[in-house]
Structure 1
Amino acid sequence: MLQFNNTYHKLGDKFYQTAMPNKVSNPALLFWNDMLANDLRLDTAFCRDKSKLALYFSGNKIISGSVPVALAYSGHQFGQFNPYMGDGRAHLLGEVCDKDNIQRDIQLKGSGQTPYSRRGDGLCAIGPAIREYIMSEAMYALGVPTSRCLAVVSTGETVYRESEKPGAVVTRIAASHIRVGTFQHFSARGDVESLTALTEYTINRHYPTIDINTDGYILELIKSVGAKQIELIVQWMRVGFIHGVMNTDNCAISGETIDFGPCAMLGVYHPGTVYSSIDKNGRYAFGNQPNIAQWNMARFAESLIPLIDEDAEKAVELVKPIILQFAEDFNNAYYGMLASKLGVHSLALIDKSFIKEILDIMQNQELDYTLTFVQLAQSLNDNEQAEQLKAALGKWYNNWLTLLQEANIDHNTAEELMKVSNPVVIPRNHHVEAILQECETSGDLSSADRFLKVLRSPYQQLPHTNEFQDLPKDGDVNYHTFCGT
């Protein structure tokens, strides 16, 4: 069925605590990800047996070879360091190799208390579980590095949050669950031996081209992890994703999107957009995500100071240029991405100030981020759409057409690039909430299935796509997301 490797266990019990998932009263399979199951080489006959799937992926029955553990880590939460964290409602079942021979973690989330739960119940309501399933599948289809969900199982039990909610367990698949906070955990304790073991394990698993026998390999790791974070955040910004809680314990060393708590999608363009109910000061606003990524990389580098050089001051001087370079590297990647959204294949052909101008126009006129770029692409071969944009965007629109002409980029070439850079549909907040409400109250999953079918082809206009392209009537001005813990 699944062949577990459990390599993380070999690091020792400082890295985790053994913990068994809670048994639940009435597990029932709600969602099963056939495509992901195929990638994980799961047995076809097993995947057809919904009752077995519900047992195994609720935690009621443990797959042979699995040794469930809760992982240890620390982290900065909204800038404040918490040394005592860890998986408070998740159980790592183990690791498997997918069809491409890439190692993947299989983790149950919402599966009950662990030694790290403190006063939490370790459970998950059905809404946040389905949100993670929908959002992670949408992100995957959009081309954003992300963890994914294999299954959502209802538990038949009640979870108490702001009100009584039906409970669920979600099965998350990730390249790993090693976080910046994992490194901080051992650095904060002065445990250099464990920090070294974690570093070498991480390199072997995620960055095998780095030679740990050479001087400066720690600096190479910091550069490599930083490059992955730049790639990730640029893709978030391309599609308008707002993570909502970019704490260091939610920053995966693999460069994947992880922990879909109070996440949301940007509607009307404004870099200060915040939807998370717990982000009171806008620390994790849409436009601040690059700055926080750099801040998180600085915390990652700090945790590795003992391994860079025995002289801490010398180590800081060695690592400082890498962290400072992050901003410039991100800036170039970010504007290169925006150039592609405008049909220009090279940043050398377009001024950053010209790109910023369209963003300023969108902000000032309160234009929808996704829709504006889709309309720009359509306008290249649609005269009616072109006239509408000329009126909306003023001289910038004609200057854009002139830029394409002077760069020898014909309209068809520009439109094709824009079509693969700009989704025609995203998981808009009002549709996500409506579907979660329907799943929670009626148990009817048909709308969610239809939504997922559309979201899995975000660059194509399918028969049902137009059902999910409308803008929220209130512009999401009163929209808030919650972490669900």
Structure 2
Amino acid sequence: MPPSSAYRPEPRFFDLGPDYADAVAAADFPETILRYRNDRAAGQVGLEGLSDAEWIAHFGRFQPLPGQPGPVAMRYHGHQFRQYNPDLGDGRGFLAAQMRDASGRLLDLGTKGSGQTPWSRNGDGRLTLKGGMREVLAATMLETLGVPTSRAFSLIETGEALERGDEPSPTRSAVLVRLQHSHVRFGTFQRAAYFKRTDQIETLIEHVRTLYHPSVATGDVPGLMTAIVEASAKLTARWIAAGFVHGVLNTDNLNVTGESFDYGPWRFLPHYDPQFTAAYFDHGGLYAFARQPEAVFWNLTQLASCLALVSDAKSLADALNGFGPAYIRELRAAFLMRLGVHSLGEAADQRLVDATLGLMREAGADLRWEPVFFDWFGGFASSARALSGPRARLYQGEAFDVFRFALMEHAPDRIERLEHPMFAAREPEEMLIDEVEAIWAAIDADDDWAPFHAKLERLEAARLAWGFTG
């Protein structure tokens, strides 16, 4: 069955040519067992009508979709833990397709674990099934909490036994497909700058401006930098409000549209802990929870240094210095969104952010991050629910009084959301590591996918209950 009339192929990155990507072929996998397909996301790009067999042909065997030229491995460099690496690029993934969604946005289908490319170095180009499962869970949870994110589109088990040094081996293999707005990374610009190809930088600028930031005028490079800074500030603030730790904030893991993607050793906070890290190899805490804004800003400075090869450095610095104010503004908005209340102005909104963090700081490990937003969603309209719930004993004392008074100032936003059955439960949906490991254990031991799919169903209900947009 061909895709529906809503399918609108538009492979624009492919038009840039061989200076930016290399034509590749997917691995020939021994098996292709469909484990997850995101029909809601597929419906947005006209692909929901594919049969399972057609789905596997396109996203397990990578038969090109209509109007798509075939996969390419994108070229880029990057700073990894602030050490420059010119030997990067799509080493186990590729850009498979681009199409417009119903609102006219250009979206990418990109892969992870699809086989070796010219940029694989000594890697096998594969993805563990556990890694694929974890990315599905991370992306779904972040979308539920209103964080700009790639969406896991497809997960197919591929029947290979992989050897890995950081998990029990041999372990099962998979190929993942993700749907996101852009795979153009900060590192894409860094590669062009490394080779002093100002012509490539200018081409990338116009490509990004036209397709992803069309409100920026032609030739306004500082304006484009401002747009990327603001998108990155919003992303970072939403991570913080969600209690999320990306784990590996290298310049090849941040893109020009401000979306979170490529989830490796991610974690959600069990409780407020500024030093909490996700990656076991992040010994210095470079990408710890509270250092994520610093990390994103540092990466933005690397992007600005690339753009400075073709634009005014002073104007780019001015754009870059807008990150701090934009981040604080977006953090206030993100906390209000998560608490389900209206803005009352900068001063009152900042008091609420500070009071929320103060409450968590005082309670420490006794008060988990996610339940605070669940208990007090809708502001003081939830006071009876919160004060009779499982954390009632923690809602007392001086820090709580400061939080309560700050919250009382803010009126509920769309209070009807509290009528959703989710808010009758005693606990919210969380994504802590113990639950993730339990979901994997069922798959690993008994090939039992029921806990995985049940979790996704609960997250979909939570997404509708929270009703976060924008």
| Matched-pair contact (CA < 8 Å) for 1:23–1:59 | yes
| 2:431 corresponding residue in structure 1 | 427
Unaligned residue ranges in structure 2 (runs of 5+): none
| Matched-pair contact (CA < 8 Å) for 2:157–2:175 | yes
Q: Distance in 2 between matches of 1:261 and 1:17?
A: 24
Range that drifts further, 365-374 or 165-174: 365-374
Range that drifts further, 59-68 or 123-132: 59-68
Post-superposition Cα deviations, 1:201-234, rounded to whole Å, max 9, x if no partner, equal 0111101111214xxx000000000000111111
| 1:53 corresponding residue in structure 2 | 55
Q: Distance in 1 between matches of 2:337 and 2:306?
A: 36
2:374 equivalent to 1:359: no
2:208 equivalent to 1:193: no
Q: Distance in 2 between matches of 1:245 and 1:114?
A: 22
CA RMSD of aligned residues (A): 2.7
2:442 equivalent to 1:445: no
| 2:77 corresponding residue in structure 1 | 74
| 1:143 corresponding residue in structure 2 | 146
- 1:381 aligned counterpart, secondary structure: helix
Paired residues in the alignment total 446
C-alpha deviation, 1:24, in angstroms: 0.8
| 1:175 corresponding residue in structure 2 | 181
C-alpha deviation, 1:303, in angstroms: 0.8
- The one-letter code sitting in structure 2 at the alignment partner of 1:431 is E
| 2:461 corresponding residue in structure 1 | 457
C-alpha deviation, 1:361, in angstroms: 3.9
2:335 equivalent to 1:338: yes
TM-score for the superposition, normalised by structure 2: 0.87
| 1:251 corresponding residue in structure 2 | 254
| 1:466 corresponding residue in structure 2 | none
1:298-317 alignment runs, 5 A limit:
298-309=301-312, 315=313, 317=314
2:40 equivalent to 1:35: yes
Identity %: 26
| 1:374 corresponding residue in structure 2 | 374
Q: Distance in 1 between matches of 2:94 and 2:402?
A: 55
Relative to structure 1, the CA distance from residue 285 to residue 270 in structure 2 (aligned partners, 3 Å threshold; closer, same or farther) is same
C-alpha deviation, 1:269, in angstroms: 0.7
Post-superposition Cα deviations, 1:370-404, rounded to whole Å, max 9, x if no partner, equal 11232334752348439965764412333444445
1:62-461 alignment runs, 5 A limit:
62-64=64-66, 65-162=68-165, 163-213=169-219, 217-309=220-312, 315=313, 317-341=314-338, 343=341, 345-348=343-346, 350=348, 352=350, 355-366=353-364, 367-377=367-377, 380-382=383-385, 384-385=387-388, 389=392, 392-403=395-406, 407=409, 409=410, 424-458=428-462
Q: Distance in 2 between matches of 1:414 and 1:39?
A: 26
C-alpha deviation, 1:336, in angstroms: 3.9
- 1:319 aligned counterpart, secondary structure: helix
| Matched-pair contact (CA < 8 Å) for 2:143–2:463 | no
Relative to structure 1, the CA distance from residue 416 to residue 298 in structure 2 (aligned partners, 3 Å threshold; closer, same or farther) is farther
- 1:172 aligned counterpart, secondary structure: strand
- 2:309 aligned counterpart, secondary structure: helix
Range that drifts further, 81-90 or 156-165: 156-165
Q: Distance in 1 between matches of 2:189 and 2:390?
A: 54
Q: Distance in 2 between matches of 1:108 and 1:404?
A: 43
- 1:350 aligned counterpart, secondary structure: helix
Range that drifts further, 223-232 or 150-159: 150-159
| 1:476 corresponding residue in structure 2 | none
| Matched-pair contact (CA < 8 Å) for 1:75–1:85 | yes
Range that drifts further, 185-194 or 332-341: 332-341
Q: Distance in 2 between matches of 1:59 and 1:211?
A: 41
Relative to structure 1, the CA distance from residue 419 to residue 370 in structure 2 (aligned partners, 3 Å threshold; closer, same or farther) is farther
C-alpha deviation, 1:137, in angstroms: 1.9
| Matched-pair contact (CA < 8 Å) for 1:85–1:116 | yes
Q: Distance in 2 between matches of 1:103 and 1:383?
A: 42
C-alpha deviation, 1:333, in angstroms: 2.2
| Matched-pair contact (CA < 8 Å) for 2:11–2:98 | yes
- The one-letter code sitting in structure 2 at the alignment partner of 1:360 is G
Q: Distance in 1 between matches of 2:279 and 2:374?
A: 27
Q: Distance in 1 between matches of 2:390 and 2:264?
A: 41
Unaligned residue ranges in structure 1 (runs of 5+): 310-314, 463-485
Range that drifts further, 165-174 or 129-138: 129-138
Q: Distance in 1 between matches of 2:282 and 2:396?
A: 32
Q: Distance in 1 between matches of 2:465 and 2:210?
A: 42
Q: Distance in 1 between matches of 2:371 and 2:38?
A: 29
Relative to structure 1, the CA distance from residue 56 to residue 376 in structure 2 (aligned partners, 3 Å threshold; closer, same or farther) is closer
- 1:229 aligned counterpart, secondary structure: helix
Q: Distance in 1 between matches of 2:419 and 2:241?
A: 13
Relative to structure 1, the CA distance from residue 414 to residue 398 in structure 2 (aligned partners, 3 Å threshold; closer, same or farther) is farther
| Matched-pair contact (CA < 8 Å) for 2:23–2:73 | yes
C-alpha deviation, 1:66, in angstroms: 3.3
C-alpha deviation, 1:108, in angstroms: 2.3
Q: Distance in 2 between matches of 1:244 and 1:345?
A: 31
- The one-letter code sitting in structure 1 at the alignment partner of 2:241 is R
C-alpha deviation, 1:356, in angstroms: 2.5
